[in-house]
Amino acid sequence: MKHHIFANYKKTSANIAFLRDAFEDTDTLFPIDEKRKTDTLETVRQEMKHKKILLVNDKAKIWKNQLRYADRTMLILHIFGCIFMYLALNFMNMQRIDREIMLTAATILSGVLGSLSILAMEKSCLAELSELSESCFFNVRQLTAFDLALSGIMNLAALAACILLMGVRWQINLIRMGLYILVPFVFTQCVCLGILLTEKGRRNIWLTAAAGVFISASCAISTSMPFLYTQAALLFWGIAFVFGTAILVLQVRALFTEINKGEILCMNWN
């Protein structure tokens, strides 16, 4: 074993020496003009004296620039998803659509909304050239935190409006109605974020999208089981919500841990 390692070391050293000699031979064909080199260095020094370094310590300005330079494709799609969910449920409410159909639509749309928020973060923070962001104005940790905060505000606003709409329509306690909508939302986010934490998931954004659609449709199956939507089943929904939220918090923590360790940056390539 030692002999094998020593042989590989000698072979590597020989290759390095060969490359060094090849570069030296090539450099002799392009002699360096020392006067032009000195003039160039002096020009660079003079330009550096006029360079102004601006340190941005204003948090409001940082967040403003964060929004300005963020990828808007998924952000616009996410905003459209929030608006569409409320308008679709409001339209069904005005048309007096059956409760089971409306609840099925709300379940699917809440799951899709959850997957959109993860896709928005994946697209803007962890796609392709994220390893370069550590040398830019914002790093991956800041971009991820910003996207999570922004998507959280939009999701809560849209879901709260839908919960209020449906709760008032059917005269159901808002906490109970909220659990019916939030549980599919949280579980879809857990699955999508779980995929995002894998190397394969970060390479293929469509894998996350497909998982989001599948989980959303699977959660809708529960609406065909009336016994799950009785007062007696409220404890089940409460436990599911707490369990899903705990998993989601742990996943977000794991995501930031991997970002800090550099795992996201090293493995994120196509």
The string of pLDDT tens digits covering residues 127-168 is 554 544 444 556 677 777 877 888 888 898 999 999 988 888
Instruction: Give the pLDDT mean for 20-26.
Output: 75
Q: Structure tokens of 185? A: 């939302």
Instruction: Give the pLDDT mean for 205-225.
Output: 81
Taking a C-beta distance cutoff of 8 angstroms, is the pair 199, 205 a contact? no
DSSP state of 204: -
Instruction: Give the pLDDT mean for 53-67.
Output: 68
Amino acid identity, residue 246? A
In this predicted structure, the answer to whether residue 171 has a pLDDT above a threshold of 70 is: yes
In this predicted structure, the answer to whether residue 20 has a pLDDT above a threshold of 90 is: no
Chain mean position to CA 150: 11
- The pLDDT-based confidence of 242 (bands split at 50, 70, 90) is very high
Q: Structure tokens of 30? A: 């392009």
Mean pLDDT score across all residues of the chain: 78
SS3 87: helix
d(CA 34, CA 206): 55
H-helix or E-strand spanning residue 229: none
In this predicted structure, the answer to whether residue 243 has a pLDDT above a threshold of 90 is: yes
Taking a C-beta distance cutoff of 8 angstroms, is the pair 219, 188 a contact? yes
Any idea which of 6-15, 126-135, 235-244, 252-261 has the lowest mean pLDDT? 126-135
d(CA 267, CA 215): 26
d(CA 188, CA 90): 23
Q: Structure tokens of 25? A: 């031979």
The string of pLDDT tens digits covering residues 68-113 is 766 677 778 888 989 999 999 889 888 888 888 888 888 888 888 8
Taking a C-beta distance cutoff of 8 angstroms, is the pair 159, 113 a contact? yes
pLDDT of the residue at 239? 92
Q: Structure tokens of 179? A: 């659990």
